[in-house]
A and B are shown apart, each in its own frame.
Chain A
Amino acid sequence: MKKAIKWILWIILGIGLILIPKIFGIYYTNFFVSLAIMAVFSQSINIELGYTRILNFGHAMFFGMGGYGAAQALALIPGMPILGAVLCGMLGGGLLALVLSPLVVRVSGMACAMLHVAFNALFFMLAMKLRPLTGGEDGISGFPIPPFNIPGIISIDMTNPLNFYYFAVAVLGISMWLMWYFTKTPFGQIMIGIRDNPKRVNYLGFKVPESRALVYIVGGSFAGVSGSMYALFQNLFSSDATSGLNSFQPVLMTMVGGIGTFIGPIIGSAFFSVVEELARRYTERVELVMGLTLIIVILFAPMGFMGLYRDLKARWGKAPSLPKI
C-alpha cells in the first residue's frame, strides 16, 4: 500500500516536471533549471558536510573545474557530444578532489574549513590569472552547444530552452538519484558513523581516511556535474563562479534547508531562489532582505527547515533530532 502511494507520488512529480514549461513559460522554466543546478551543487556539499562532516568551504573549486572542463571540452574538441562535456566536467571535479583528498582527510574541523577557504582563494586567483586557460573575469564564452545526439536515432537542438530543460532535468535528476542512492548504501551508514564518531568507526575496522576521501571525491564529482550544467546553461563560464562567495552559497542553502537530510538542500535552494526572486522584484535592497532572512532563519531554526520540522514532529510524536554540526 505504502509502496503504491510512493509510486503515485513519483509519477505525479514526473508529470509535474514534464508540464512545468507548458504551465509556466520559458522564464520560469529557466528559473527552475538554475534552481536545480544549485540544488545538485548544494546536495553535493551536503554529502560531505552533512553526512560525513568534511567542512568543505571551498566547493566552488569543484564547481569551477566542472564548468571549465565542460566549456573547454566544447571549445577545443570539435564534435564533442553534450553528455561528453558533462562527463568532462564531472571528471574535472572528481580529479581535483582526488588530488586534494590526501590533504583533506588528515585534518578536520575548523582547520579543514580554513584549508578549503585557502585553496579556494588560490583557485580563484589562478582562474583570474591564467587567462589563456580560463578567460579570466570574462570567462570562456561562445562555445558551441551541441545537439543531444543518439546517432541514427535522434538529434535534439539544445539551444532551444525547452529541450535544454528536459536535458537538464534528466541529468540533474539522475545525479540527485545517484547521490541519494549513495547515501542509502551500506557505505552511507559508515559516512554517518564517521560524522558522529570517527574513532568508533575506526575500531569497527573501517578505514576512516579512505572513506572520507571517497565521499570527498563523490561530492567533488557531482559539484563538477552542476558546474558543467551551469556552463552549458549560461553558455559562459567566468571566474566569479569559482569565488569563495560561490562556495558559501550552497553551504547556506544546505544549512537553511536542513543539513544532513537529503531533502534539506533541495528545500534550501528553492527557498533561496524564491526569496531572491521576490526580493529583486519587489524591493530595491536585495542584500538587506537576504541578510535579515539568514539571521531570522538561523535564530529561529538553527537546524534549518528540516530541523524545525523534526523538532515539531518530535514534540508530538517520536523522531530523533538532528545532530549538531
Chain B
Amino acid sequence: MDPTTAMYVSQGIHGLAYGMILFLVASGVSLIIGMMHIFNLAHAGFFMLSAYFTYQFVAWTGNFWLALLLAPIATGFCGMLMERFLLRPLRGSGVIGDLILTVGVALCIDALVKVIWGTANKPLSKPPLLQGMVHFAGLDYPYYRLFVIGLAVVVLLIMALLLYKTRIGKIVRAAVSDNDMVNALGINIPLLFTFVFGVGIWLAGVAGAAIAPILSVFPGLALQMGMDAFIVVAVAGFGSLRGAFMVSILFGLMNSYGVQFISQLAPLSMFIFMAIVMIFFPHGFFGESEEE
C-alpha cells in the first residue's frame, strides 16, 4: 500500500475504533431510554467511574485483564443500586423528576471521584501484550485500538444473543415496545428494570475500562464522552441498538475523515449533522414516534 492509501485506511480504522467506543456508551443510554424512558444524565459519570475502578483494580492487582472484567461489573452494580434505591421510588413522577435525580447523581459522582482519588491525572498503561503496533501491508496500527474494536464486537454479539436468543431478551424487547402489556402478563417489571439499568451501566463501564489506557483518567472524563454519546442516541432514536450501532460507526468515520479533509469544520460536523437529522426526523432515524 502506498502511504496515502495507508493513511486513508488508518483513518477508516480510527473511525471504527472511536465509533465502537461511542457505541458502547450510547447503547446503554439508548437501552435505558428505550425501555424505561429515563434520560440518564449520570451515564457519562458511570463511564468515568468505571475508568477509575479500572485504575484502582490495576493498582491493587497489577492485572489489566482482571480490571477489565471487574470494573464494568462493579460499575453496573453501582448502577443497579442507583436504580433500586433512587430511581424506583421516583417512578411515575415524570421525565423531569428523573432528570433532576440523574443530574444529582452525576454531581455526586463527580464529587466522590475527587474525594476518593483526588484531582490528579491517573495514568494507566496498556497491558504489555497490547503495546506496540501491527505492521501489515505498509500499514502501522496500534494493537490496543484493534483490541478495542474486537472487544466492542464481542460485547455487541453478547448483547445481540441476549436480546434475540434468550427469554429475558424477548421480555426486554417486549417491554421496550409495550411496558404495561408485559406487566399485565405477570412479569416482574421492577426487577427487569433494575436488571436492564444495570446492563446499560455495565456497557458504559466496559467503554470506560477500555478507554482508560488511551485517555488520562481525571475528574473531567465524564464531560468528554457525555455529549458525543448523547448525540448518537438523539440521531439514532431511542431504544434502537441497531440504530445506535450504525450511527456510532457513521460518526466515528465522519470524525476521522472530517479531520482529514475539512479539519476546521470537523468538530462542528457532528452537531450540524445532528441538527439536520433532528429537523427531518425529530424522533431519530430509527426511533418510533411515541404516543402520549
Contact = CB atoms under 8 A, between A and B. Distances in A.
Most buried by A among B104, B105, B267, B272: B104
Given A114-B234, A291-B105, 6 more contacts: A122-B268, A248-B103, A252-B100, A288-B108, A290-B107, A297-B100
Interface of A: 49, 55, 103, 106-115, 117-119, 121-122, 125-126, 129, 244, 248, 251-252, 255-256, 259, 285, 287-288, 290-295, 297-299, 302-303, 324-325
Interface in B66-123: 86, 89-90, 92-97, 99-101, 103-108, 110-112, 114-115
Contact of A298 (B39, B90, B115, B268): B90
Contact of A55 (B95, B107, B233, B272): B95
A113 B99 CA distance: 11
A250 B47 CA distance: 26
| Interface residues of chain A: helix, strand, loop or mixed (majority) | helix
Contacts of B289: 111
Nearest to A307: B93
Given A288-B112, A291-B111, A294-B101, A110 B290 contact: yes
A325 B95 contact: yes
Nearest to A121: B271
A43 B177 CA distance: 36
Contacts of B151: none
Given A109-B290, A113-B39, A295 B274 contact: no
B290 to A, nearest CB: 6
B97 A114 contact: no
Contacts of A49: 96
Contacts of B104: 290-295, 298
A121 B273 CA distance: 12
B39 A110 contact: yes
Contacts, number: 129
Interface stretch (B8-16, B127-135, B180-188, B278-286): B278-286
Given A118-B278, A302-B90, A110 B107 contact: no
B282 A298 contact: no
A113 B238 CA distance: 13
A121 B231 contact: yes
Given A292-B104, A298-B100, A118 B275 contact: yes
Nearest to A55: B95
A114 B106 CA distance: 19
Nearest to A288: B111
B231 A118 contact: yes
Contact of A299 (B33, B90, B108, B283): B90
A96 B96 CA distance: 24
Contacts of A302: 90, 93, 97
B230 interface: yes
A122 B105 contact: no
Contacts of B2: none
Nearest to B264: A129
B137 interface: no
Contacts of B271: 118, 121-122, 125
A287 B100 contact: no
Contacts of A114: 233-234, 278, 282, 284
A119 B96 CA distance: 19
26 contacts: A49-B96, A103-B279, A106-B282, A110-B37, A111-B282, A112-B282, A114-B278, A114-B282, A115-B234, A117-B234, A122-B275, A125-B267, A248-B103, A251-B99, A255-B96, A285-B111, A285-B115, A288-B111, A290-B104, A291-B108, A292-B104, A293-B104, A297-B100, A303-B93, A325-B94, A325-B96
